[in-house]
Amino acid sequence: MLKLTISEVAPLIRAREVSPVDLAEAALAEAERRQPTLNSFITIMREQALAQAEEAEESLSRGEYLGPLHGIPIGIKDNIATGGITTTVGTKVLRDHVPDEDAEVVRRCKAAGAIIIGKENLEEFAAGATSNNPHYGAVHNPWNVDHIPGGSSGGGGANVAAGVTFASLGTDLGGSVRLPGAFCGVVGLKQTFGRVSQRGLLVTSFNGDHIGPMTRSVRDSALVLQAIAGYDPLEPSTVPVPVDDYALIMERGVSGLTMGIPSNYYFDLLDPEVEEAVRRAIAALEELGVATREVSVPSMQYAGALRFSSMADSVVTHEPYIASSREDYGPDTLYRTLAGQFVLGRDYSKAMKVQRIIKEEHARVLQDVDFLVTPTTPLPAPRIDADTIDVEGRRQKVRGPGSGHVSRNTSPMNATGFPAITVPCGFSGLGLPIGLQFIARPWEEGNLFRIANAYESVSPSRGVSPNLE
């Protein structure tokens, strides 16, 4: 039952053929069984989850069905506040932090009937692409436990891929939902900035962070976004734009749409196996009736400048913790954070100017095509013990300061705020998943789901799951 998708198990719960209590018990047992192998949780919430499941079952017995998340076991990244439950943000600095109330997305998930079974492991302070946590241990990729699951939402990606949770909420500031999505072979969504409330997201940036779902199917991603999206009057980054009926839009065909294939940047510095898989995916979309147009985004040559603004944001958000608990930081997070104190105001302003130019250029390109297609990551998941990787004869860092190569294709959309989704599109020679990224216009998540769902139906990854036995 745990290998099913939300779309498959929800009708069984509604018909009372599957009990929310039995499903929660199964998910908790699987979480505890896999924890020594995956290390994907920081806190497993057995008592709270079973209480939620019993409440969900009682609601069903009264004829009160809350929707497709009713009785569905999910995970929450441990930098999203849960009232009365420790929320560590993956660091010793906040090891005893217990929020007074749930984050808005957690409240909405509970209102939709979802069962939260635990708080998931992540990179310390959500600052990195590996989920090699120095305090709580490394998260392991269920496709090959010697490899990273991606970060910073690695615990969520591993749990969804391994069939522990049906969905997990992660956070994406530079690709931290889409990177685990690609490396763990699941669907990862970063919706339009302002679509989902960030209230209750801890130690975040002021510019570009998103809370988004990881799921085993595109349809499930749409179901979760439907539940958590919408204006929050207490969160100033949210925008009162109507939330579409994603399930309805997803049923439309894709024949006649045009996809843009960037001629620069996004296809640079690629592992050959990644490029081959993505090119095959583009050919599959063409067979579905999608036209192809090459597009150029020349301003991406300046994309490295975007890191100046994120560095400055980081040092400001960490300032009180560094002042009080510097000795509790892991070295990678501390050193990459401290660098932000050397960013001049002029440099910050230039970075914001580059951000604006890149955003305008993508907006112009997306007037001529319906969506963009890129590789999600430039390589399959590196090994956990890898500090650097070889890229066209040059060593690129995997973690710590200067490790932007892994997220080079995902982080630009955090700067633009445009929606992006990763879908599995094949495997490397070692059997590691490869991800395909679709980028759409702001507020067009429905169109993104429509395209991703159509591709998913012909993807070579469809129906394939990791074997952890």
347 alpha carbon, distance to own chain's centre: 29
At residue 82, the 3 state secondary structure works out as: strand
From the list 19, 153, 176, 461, the catalytic residue is 176
At residue 36, the 3 state secondary structure works out as: helix
From the list 7, 40, 77, 428, the catalytic residue is 77
- CB-CB contact of 445 with 426 (8 Å): no
Give the ranges where 369-444 is alpha helix by DSSP (H). Answer: 411-416
**Gap between the Cα atoms of 154 and 158, Å rounded:** 6
User: Has 119 been annotated as catalytic?
Assistant: no
At residue 458, the 3 state secondary structure works out as: coil
- Edge to edge, the sheet with strand 167-172 lists 41-44, 115-120, 73-77, 167-172, 210-215, 187-190, 420-427, 433-439, 371-375, 258-262, 291-295
Give the torsion sign (CA, 131, 136, 142, 143): positive
Residue 308 amino acid letter: F
- Bridge-based pairing state of the strands 371-375 and 388-391: unpaired
Cβ within 8 Å of residue 349, ≥6 positions away = none
| Burial class, 282, CB count within 10 angstroms (exposed 0-12 / middle 13-18 / buried 19+) | middle
From the list 7, 40, 152, 407, the catalytic residue is 152
User: Has 411 been annotated as catalytic?
Assistant: no
User: Has 176 been annotated as catalytic?
Assistant: yes
Residue with tokens 């294709």: 409
**Residues that are catalytic:** 77, 152, 176
